[in-house]
Amino acid sequence: MPEKLLQLCGVLPATQAVLDARYDVSRWTGIADPDAWLSEHGATVRAVVTGGHLGIETAMAERLPSLGIVAINGVGYDRVDLDAMRRLGVRVTNTPDVLTDDVADLAIALMLNVMRQLPAAERHVRDGLWPTSQPSLARRASGLRYGIVGLGRIGQGIAARLAGFGGSIAYTGPNPKQSAHRYHAKLHDLAAASDVLFIATAASGATRGLVDASVLEALGPQGVLINVARGSIIDEPALVEALATHKIWGAGLDVFDDEPNAPEALFTMANVSLAPHVGSATAETRDAMGKLMLENLDAFFANADLPTAVV
């Protein structure tokens, strides 16, 4: 009998085909009455597959008494209460490394979008305005002071790309790392010393609203904020206010606090580039994430070491 698996997120067709072949899969989105379903089938579920941005509610996990593993198809585990999973005896895995390059690429793309005003430039051509006018001048993106919040895998990927832009790179995090880049213990000091501030830190309860009005003020009226981590790390109303009142110059955002909802006030703002959480959304990376997620599941059911265990 295949093991019962509850799938909370969508995956690529190739990954789905393997899941469907190896497991008895129920897809959460196809379940008409979730409460009744959990009462009837909850006790048989052995594995949950979920996205980094989705995680799993502890209340749901508590209704799955045979649950052995939550396999996250993503690197972030901020939406999973790890202590609760330990208490419930549930393993947790994620998909680190395979998405680092794509997320770092997107951070640079957002910076270029904002500084070089590429969406406006493209609209200019598509709207047929080129023969009669020029778009407004943009800002140089190279040779600046770049700050990175979180010099982990993705932060280092961003730093490696920025090395080609000239300028200087500094970072903050709980502790200094073995790195040639300048360390600031305080986020405010890093923000004050940065033209472009990249958010690349893992989210947790402790990072909620970390980038608040005072950090944005420190970044200053010429400063640009780029976020490819989690929306929760930024005080979103404070960000909207800072942009609207020109306390900072611009922002490039791939993540939001209440996805898939982004604050509508941002939609009409100049100097803002928005993306619908696509940091890891390339065919190559999503395929690699799917494979790693499957490897973790297979290892769990084979009683083998989990390739990328979080818990």
Give residues in contact with ligand 8YV (CB under 6 A). 9, 51-53, 73-76, 99, 277, 279-280
State which residue, 9 or 64, has the beta carbon closest to ligand 8YV.
9
H/E element holding 87? Answer: helix 82-88
Q: Is 277 a catalytic residue?
A: yes
- Out of 63, 230, 236, 286, the active site residue is 230
Q: Is 264 a catalytic residue?
A: no
Q: Name the pairing type of β-strands 272-274 and 91-93.
A: unpaired
The distance of closest approach from Cβ of residue 286 to ligand 8YV in the complex, given in angstroms and rounded to an integer, is 7
- Out of 122, 123, 140, 259, the active site residue is 259
State which residue, 23 or 249, has the beta carbon closest to ligand 8YV.
23
Q: What are phi and psi of 111, to 5 degrees?
A: -60, -45
What letters, b where the CB count within 10 A reaches 16 and e where it falls short, cover 170-198? bbbbeeeeebebeebeebeebbbbbbbbb
H/E element holding 7? Answer: strand 4-7
State which residue, 53 or 247, has the beta carbon closest to ligand 8YV.
53
State which residue, 49 or 299, has the beta carbon closest to ligand 8YV.
49
- Helices 100-116 and 283-301 sit at what angle, rounded to 10 degrees? 150
d(CA 211, CA 236): 9
Cα radius of gyration (the chain): 21
The distance of closest approach from Cβ of residue 46 to ligand 8YV in the complex, given in angstroms and rounded to an integer, is 20
State which residue, 51 or 250, has the beta carbon closest to ligand 8YV.
51
Other beta carbons within 10 Å of 154: 28
The distance of closest approach from Cβ of residue 281 to ligand 8YV in the complex, given in angstroms and rounded to an integer, is 7
d(CA 130, CA 134): 6
The distance of closest approach from Cβ of residue 124 to ligand 8YV in the complex, given in angstroms and rounded to an integer, is 31
Q: Which of 276, 278, 280 is nearest to 258 (CA)?
A: 276
Instruction: For residue 220, give the DSSP letter.
Output: -
The distance of closest approach from Cβ of residue 35 to ligand 8YV in the complex, given in angstroms and rounded to an integer, is 25
Catalytic residues: 230, 259, 277
